[in-house]
Structure 1
Amino acid sequence: MSSVEEVRLSLPHIELAAHLFGPEDGLPVIALHGWLDNANSFARLAPKLEGLRIIALDMAGHGHSGHRPLGAGYALWDYAHDVLQVAEQMGWKRFALLGHSMGAIVSVVLAGALPERVTHVALIDGVIPPTAAHDNTAERMGMALQAQLDLQEKRKPVYSTLDRAIEARMKGLVAVSREAAELLAQRGLMPVPGGYTWRTDSRLTLASPLRLTDEQAMSFVQRISCPAQLVVAADGMLAKHPELLERLPFSREQLPGGHHLHLNDESGAALVADCFNRFFAVP
Structure 2
Amino acid sequence: MSHTFEEVRLRLPHLEVAAHLYGPEDGRPVIALHGWLDNAASFSRLAPLLNGVRIVALDLPGHGLSDHRPPGAGYNIWDYAHDILQTAEQFGWQRFSLLGHSLGGIVSVLLAGAMPERIERLALIDGVIPYTGEAESAPRKLGEALRALLAVERKRKPVYARFDQAVAARMKGVGAVSREAAERLAQRGLMPVPGGYTWRTDPRLMLPSPLRLTLAHAQAFAQRVECPTSLIIARQGLMTDAKVIEFIDSLPFESHRLHGGHHLHLDDDEGAAAIAAVFNPFFAS
Aligned to 1:257: 260
Give the deviation of 1:207 after TM superposition: 1.0
Report the 3-state secondary structure (helix = DSSP H, G, I; strand = E; otherwise coil) of the residue aligned with 1:152.
Answer: helix
The CA RMSD over aligned residues, in Å, is 0.9
Q: Which letter maps to 2:252?
A: P
Aligned partner of residue 31 in structure 1, secondary structure: strand
Question: 2 CA distance for matches of 1:89 and 1:208?
Answer: 30
Q: Greater shift after overlay, 171-180 or 236-245?
A: 236-245
Matches within 5 A, 1:20-99: 20-99=21-100
| Correspondence 1:172-251 to 2 at 5 A | 172-241=173-242, 242-251=245-254
Note if contact 1:233-1:239 (Cα within 8 Å) is conserved in structure 2: no
Amino acid of the residue matched to residue 61 of structure 2?
A
Aligned equivalents of 1:265 and 1:75: distance in 2? 31
Corresponding letter in the other structure for 1:250: F
Alignment correspondent of 1:162 = 163
Q: TM-score, normalised by structure 1?
A: 0.98
Q: Check whether the contact 2:175–2:238 (CA below 8 A) recurs between aligned residues.
A: no
Aligned-partner SS, 2:117: helix
Q: Secondary structure at the match of 2:236?
A: coil
2:240 partner SS:
helix
TM-score after normalising by structure 2: 0.97
CA distance in 1, matches of 2:276, 2:252: 21
Runs (4 or more) in structure 1 with deviation over 6 Å come to none
Distance in 2 between residues matched to 1:214 and 1:123, nearest whole Å: 19
Paired residues of 1:17 and 1:57 also in contact (CA < 8 A): yes
Distance 1:37 1:65 in 2: 12
Matched residue type, 1:268? G
How far apart are 1:173 and its partner, in Å?
A: 2.1
Aligned to 1:15: 16
The percent identity for this pair of structures is 63
- State the shift of 1:2 in Å: 4.2
- Name the CA distance, whole Å, in 2 between partners of 1:86 and 1:77: 15
Q: Which residue of 2 aligns with 1:122?
A: 123
Q: CA deviation at 1:153?
A: 1.2
Answer yes or no: is 1:269 the counterpart of 2:239. Answer: no
Superposition deviation, residue 76 in structure 1: 1.2
Name the count of aligned residue pairs: 282
Partner-residue secondary structure (3-state), 2:7: strand
SS of structure 2 residue aligned to 1:191: strand
Moved more, 101-110 or 168-177: 168-177
CA distance in 2, matches of 1:173, 1:32: 17
Q: Report if aligned partners of 1:177, 1:264 keep a CA contact under 8 Å in 2.
A: yes
